[in-house]
Amino acid sequence: MTAGHPSGTIVLAAFQPDPELFRRQLGSLQAQTVQDWTCVISVDGERAPVAALVDEITGGDERFVVIGDDRRRGFYGNFEQALGAVPADAAWVTLADQDDHWYPHKLETLLPLLADHSMVSGQARLVTYPGGVELGVTDRADHGAASTVLINQFTGSLCVFERALLDDALPFPHPPSRVATHDHWLAVVAGARGGTAIVDEVVQDYVQHDANVYGDPSRTGDAGVLAPLRNALRLAERVEGSRSPLAVVRMTFWTYVGWRQLMVDALAARRAPEWTPAPPLAGGFGGTRSYRKLNAQLGIAVAQGVISSRYAWGYRASWFAGVLIGGRGRVERAVAGVTPDRRP
């Protein structure tokens, strides 16, 4: 153990891991200069093959604990299950993907920053697999809590956060459409607690390949005002199983406005009375939001380079999609369905 760092938990969500990448990733965890941790590996699907692979790769390292009940939950539910297994006495938590590669100093670099923040993140080198071609380095930036709600800059595999954050983050809010991301929700919670920070140090390789659930979001370009519609059609077919007008409208609402209202309102319900959404959050994203305030925030975010004009048009379309389907009420019902004392 590196002196001065309390014990924590690495949370890794696994789904049919590629043996070569998995071996490299687990080896990079074992090579950390900070050694006082446990690693909870939550398996989405059949547990036994992954457990056997972990045991073989790590040489029976008892710090690695594999959990799972053979059910499929998807990546969002799998991370929720894994975080629910974090020991209560852990001081910090960090998330890991099964196919990346951590640099030995990653934990040593990020952990000291938790003295002043609830969540901290580094940068990553983007590398293709197979081939190992370097695509560049992430350029994530923390623009404050309201901007984090608008567009997430915190990729889970780059972050470390305080264990106490889970008191507000679990159980995860679940929208009635698969648009939720665990790292976005955790970053929003962190912003409401002790704040967030992103540093420039490159702390790992972020492997880009066809099996990524999400690639690096900072690599998406601005493809014009029709791009949100094409994206909505693609997601509606994949998630809703239909390209019908109603499916596209529902998908458009939950992808942008609905998911953000759900995060802000769920957090407000859990943190009350000690925390209420600041005016930029309530006015732009919560259940009492107004289009005028939202539109002003979108304009500022585009001018500052926080979001693209394409993203802003998609967000505006999502607002009007919510008007068509009674989106505010749908979110209110989703918030009411998740009580703070429920655990995954």
Looking at the chain, the whole-number percentage of residues with pLDDT higher than 70 is 87
Based on the domain organization, do 199 and 108 belong to the same domain?
A: yes
pLDDT digits (tens, 9 = 90+) for 122-147: 999 999 988 888 899 999 999 999 99
pLDDT score at 201? 97
pLDDT score at 225? 53
CA distance 317 to 328: 15
pLDDT score at 108? 97
Domain extent, residue 164, equals 8-208
pLDDT of 242 strictly over 90: no
Based on the domain organization, do 148 and 270 belong to the same domain?
A: no
pLDDT of 224 strictly over 70: no
CA distance 126 to 248: 32
pLDDT score at 131? 82
Residue 305, token pair as written in the block:
């380079």
Based on the domain organization, do 224 and 204 belong to the same domain?
A: no
pLDDT tier at 215, thresholds 50, 70, 90: very low
- In the chain, how many domains are there? 2
Confirm whether pTM is higher than 0.75. yes
1 within a domain of the structure (yes/no): no
pLDDT of 60 strictly over 70: yes
Based on the domain organization, do 53 and 161 belong to the same domain?
A: yes
Based on the domain organization, do 187 and 227 belong to the same domain?
A: no
213 within a domain of the structure (yes/no): no
Neighbours of 61 (CB within 10 A): 13
Instruction: Look at residues 103, 92, 96, 97 and name the one whose alpha carbon lies nearest to residue 201.
Output: 103
**Under a CB-based contact definition with an 8 Å cutoff, are residues 209 and 100 in contact?**
no
CA distance 239 to 168: 28
Instruction: Look at residues 86, 95, 82 and name the one whose alpha carbon lies nearest to residue 157.
Output: 95
Beta bridge mates, 121: 159, 198
Length of the chain in terms of residues written: 344
pLDDT digits (tens, 9 = 90+) for 315-342: 999 999 999 999 999 999 988 865 444 3
pLDDT of 63 strictly over 90: yes
DSSP3 helix / strand / coil % (the chain, rounded to 5) = 45, 15, 35
CA distance 98 to 60: 18
pLDDT score at 209? 64
pLDDT score at 218? 47
pLDDT of 229 strictly over 70: no
